[in-house]
A and B are shown apart, each in its own frame.
Chain A
Amino acid sequence: MTNRTIRIWTLIHKWTSLICTLFMLLLCLTGLPLIFHDEIESLSAEDNLPPMPAETPMKSLDEAVASALATYPGERPLFLSFDEDRPVVNVTTGPTARPPVSQMHISAIDLRTTRILADLNDDQGFMHAMLRLHVDMFAGLPGELFLGFMGFLLFLATLSGVVIYAPFMRKLSFGTVRAGRSRRLKWLDLHNMLGIVTLMWVVVVGLTGVINTLSVPLVAYWRSNELAAMIAPYEGKPVPERFASVDAAVRKAMEAAPGMRPQFVAFPGVRFSSNHHYAVWLKGATPATNRILTPALIDAETGAFTDMRSMPWYMLALRLSQPLHFGDYGGLPMKVLWAVLDVLTIVILGSGLYLWIARRRGAQEQAGASPGLRAVAGEAAE
């Protein structure tokens, strides 16, 4: 690489990093407790399932929905999701078909009694604040997309960091940390070493985070394309006055897709369904296929099966981006590794910031030399 090329990549690294670093620090710090949100929330969980005989019959899903609506009169059902390994469904209700999240109510309902175990309306508290800061900084969709753009800058910073890693390491063997000389040299070596070993984790978590910020536009695109094609005969029909049985709709969907299990049901009119259908989102039964969702549409007026189609590639990418970003697919040890890698990323961000400040201070003391070039040439020649 010529000095000119090196200087250009150094500038790219410097500016993409400078712009995104403070936001990335925010994301790493708020992300740390979020990795363990299941564990933290179960500490204060009040919805322990009362023991009952194993053969206790289940009530119908319609009775569960009725139970939620009795608690929130005047609302309508939006979603119904199934707990993984206990007879519990979570029913989301709201005043309209697509209300803001703050107006939704989520009830965890024991399917054996239809008694409400807990309301999951967590819109305050520490974890909620962490989540909002992490997702959109309390700024809604614009905040979400802004953080997505910051994530993209992080990707560019990582990429340019890999390029300028080469001239730095021309005369150093892998993993060299010169801790005995200046403080700046020690942190430079640590920044380079930590940056290169965590490279792939940072790229994967960063880019899947960016994809997650695109969730709202991607689902809207899916709704107006794929979903519109599936329900073409129903175009323009209003939301039905009365809904047919959701229990029957789920059974019909499962008949149409043997071997699959329901993950959640989207009621007519909501973001994940059409105006006229129950969308029963089915998942595969094996660990490899249970992240792949297939929506089956059931006419919410007649209860008839309408159509079922697998997800397009961008919805699949969105779906897979969740576990790869959250690190919640390999048990507690994976979460711990996620946390350690997150802390290493904080060290990379912090040391990068320190190096920039130290270099500026150095440049002011010996004005004249080009700081970007000297940084590379000076250290690489050590």
Chain B
Amino acid sequence: MKPRAPLPLPAIFGIPAAIALVTTAGLVIALLDDGLVDALSWAALSVPILAAVWSWRNRER
């Protein structure tokens, strides 16, 4: 899907900002405790990787 009109900045940076926030949370929470938060951190740090996988799988051929 390719929009015609130029996208406003919030549309360009919305998803990247969300991924950055989730990454930050994942990096920080694992410092605070062991156990459950480690698992949360793994989930959070998987988000940028999954986003990359998703966008490669949906590449325009």
Interface residues on B, range: 35 or more
Known contacts A166-B9, A175-B58, A180-B60, A337 near B31 by CB under 8 Å: no
Identify which of residues 180-218 in chain A touch chain B, using a CB-to-CB cut-off of 8 Å. Answer: 180, 186, 189-190, 193-194, 196-201, 204
CB contacts (< 8 Å) of A337 on chain B: these are 42, 45-46, 49
Interface of B is mostly: helix
Which of A179, A201, A334 makes the CB contact (< 8 A) with B61?
Answer: A179
- Are A196 and B16 in contact, CB atoms less than 8 angstroms apart? yes
A to B contact number (C-beta, < 8 Å): 119
Assess the B42–A176 pair: CB atoms within 8 A: no
Q: A179-B60, A200-B19, A201-B23 are in contact. Are A288 and B45 (CB under 8 A)?
A: no
Tell whether A178 pairs with B12 under 8 Å between CB atoms, given A193-B55, A323-B31, A334-B42.
Answer: no
Rounded to whole angstroms, the CA-CA distance of A172 and B12 in the bound complex is 8
B59 contacts across to A, CB distance below 8 A: 177-180, 186, 189
Q: A166-B13, A199-B16, A201-B45 are in contact. Are A329 and B30 (CB under 8 A)?
A: yes
- Distance to closest chain A CB from B57 (angstroms): 9
Within A241-293, the residues touching B (CB, 8 Å) are 286-288, 291
A323 partner residues in chain B, CB cutoff 8 A: 31
Which A residues form the contact surface with B (CB < 8 A)? Answer: 165-166, 169-180, 186, 189-190, 193-194, 196-201, 204, 286-288, 291, 320, 323-324, 329-331, 333-334, 337, 340-341, 344
Given A175-B54, A330-B38, 15 more A-B residue pairs with CB atoms under 8 Å apart are A166-B9, A171-B4, A174-B12, A177-B55, A177-B56, A177-B59, A180-B60, A200-B24, A287-B34, A288-B31, A329-B31, A330-B42, A334-B30, A337-B42, A344-B49
